[in-house]
Chain A
Amino acid sequence: DSGVTQTPKHLITATGQRVTLRCSPRSGDLSVYWYQQSLDQGLQFLIQYYNGEERAKGNILERFSAQQFPDLHSELNLSSLELGDSALYFCASSRGILALSSSNTGELFFGEGSRLTVL
């Protein structure tokens, strides 16, 4: 158990709809990362938050948005869904963005993912 919780585990919806994926990071972790995993694209970095602020954006579509709340949980919102958005969405957390140290090993702790199917 990584300590990262993602809900829901599975989600089936129709094209054009909107869904929200939720992530609770490991206790004490300030950074949250969202990744999308699909067969054709592999693991794609979407976005990173640190202590409530957006830190980096990757290949995140304009139809997607995310935020990190004061209690450090994060939500990824996917709207105007298309068939190609079907994928596994992972949330990961880490201590922070500081240099490697005894308190920051640099590894990411991944949740079990939310499998989104768009029909």
Chain B
Amino acid sequence: SQQGEEDPQALSIQEGENATMNCSYKTSINNLQWYRQNSGRGLVHLILIRSNEREKHSGRLRVTLDTSKKSSSLLITASRAADTASYFCATDEGRGSTLGRLYFGRGTQLTVWP
């Protein structure tokens, strides 16, 4: 099994700035997902990118995937105080036509100051 590793561990920015978080993983994947967690709450799915995709957008979120480097990045544009949360990347190793369980990294704690 393998886990994603996020970088940086913590990120502190002002409202309106962009936030970029990176994720590296070790083995081949079926897809990579990003989740958000507000303090002490459940995780919420943000975006999924398949292994044959290179970039995906959803609102203010932009995710890239480089399978040759085994890395992904999550960009949040024009950040808001409400974006303050922990962000996790999760890899799905899925074999063949089945999806496996997700392995999560340790997360990036994003703080957006008003």
> Which residues of A approach B to under 8 Å, CB–CB?
2, 4, 33, 35, 42-43, 45, 48, 56, 58, 88, 90, 92, 94, 96-100, 104-113, 115
Contact = CB atoms under 8 A, between A and B. Distances in A.
A115 B27 CA distance: 32
Given A58-B1, A100-B99, A107-B33, A42 B48 contact: no
B41 interface: yes
Interface residues of B, number: 27
B13 interface: no
B54 interface: no
B42 A42 contact: no
B104 A43 contact: yes
Contacts of B33: 106-108
A98 B98 CA distance: 5
Interface string B59-89: 0000000000000000000000000000010
